Structure 1
């Protein structure tokens, strides 16, 4: 989630209250640049149920400086930081050239390795490029989360073999979602849920700002897709998140 964004920050107490009422006891809020990463850490310091992830999003990579990389490296050592993210690559908008994206992604992967933290990888329209780049860097094992994953089963297998978890958000219920076979193939012990709030609002809340409480709708949809009891899915995905992020 991105709890520092105005859609959520303007009613943060209410957002967290509704999350608790829905059975959500931990939230990880992800930065996309230095300023939002710092804000994520501040929120994690203020609220016991919030943890922070820090990083530079691919959309911000062309503006990122060496000083920004150093700032993320410093934030990574904060005790409330549990991951490096949101990082990765994005060729959906095609407004940031590949070169700065590769440069910043590699820097963020290095910070994650140095800090021994999992990564949260954004891969919109860039799954194959990330696969190539990870191999180019000689990475044979990587712990973390493939965020809002939308790709073929063979791509999921690549990241599972690498050691990653696969995360599914509310867009799994959208009419245009093309990857149900991929979702069915993800083993329960490597599956994660997320909201990506305030974005990707799941049905039946679509048209409103998304928030952490709505993760229950993601869980219900996934349990239906995988044809398993809801409690079973929640138990596994909760345990996966706790073990991966140490929360």
Structure 2
């Protein structure tokens, strides 16, 4: 592959499965196995149904993401950054494993927010998630905001919530200004994230997909790699870095 000097990367849940965090829409995905969990992921259901909130808080408390560590795919993207080739790292993930692997926070664009903070939906108070989960563990099934008593949730984007305008603009800028757009571990079925591929293509970027399953954007890609991400991504990054030397 001829070396681009500017690479923007879009990552989805598939890059974190080797860290022990299940994806959503893969064959063993959380929503594939339990479609009701996907239905309960909407902001309307969360606000309207205390049972949904209680179940969600319990799921947060027990999430394998708290024990997860970055894997070789996360670290490969750190190598890409250190080589001076990374324009931006756009992620649909909320686990912060990119930053924990060593990616610069200023390079990471978190489309869907982070699970490591909680927010009040009434007064916008932001609280470290570990503080709220300590209350759940102590017996508060649906802990209200400590300041105003409002409903709290993770500082993430649920179905029915709008992405923050400044975040989606940063992602659009990254997609439109790179020479190579690389989609890793994402089904490319959720918008506006999936639409970033089209933005990059329209701007003349080359487009490569690394994913375990086919995606709707495969016909438009210059290269599709349907191999385990933990093997394919480090090899691809090495190829890009070697070509730049």
- The answer to whether TM tops 0.5 is no
Higher Rg of the two aligned structures: 2
Specify which structure has the bigger relative contact order, considering alpha-carbon pairs within 8 angstroms and separated by 6 or more residues: 2
Using the size of structure 1 for normalisation, the TM-score is 0.32
Larger fraction in strand = 2
Larger fraction in helix = 1
Using the size of structure 2 for normalisation, the TM-score is 0.32
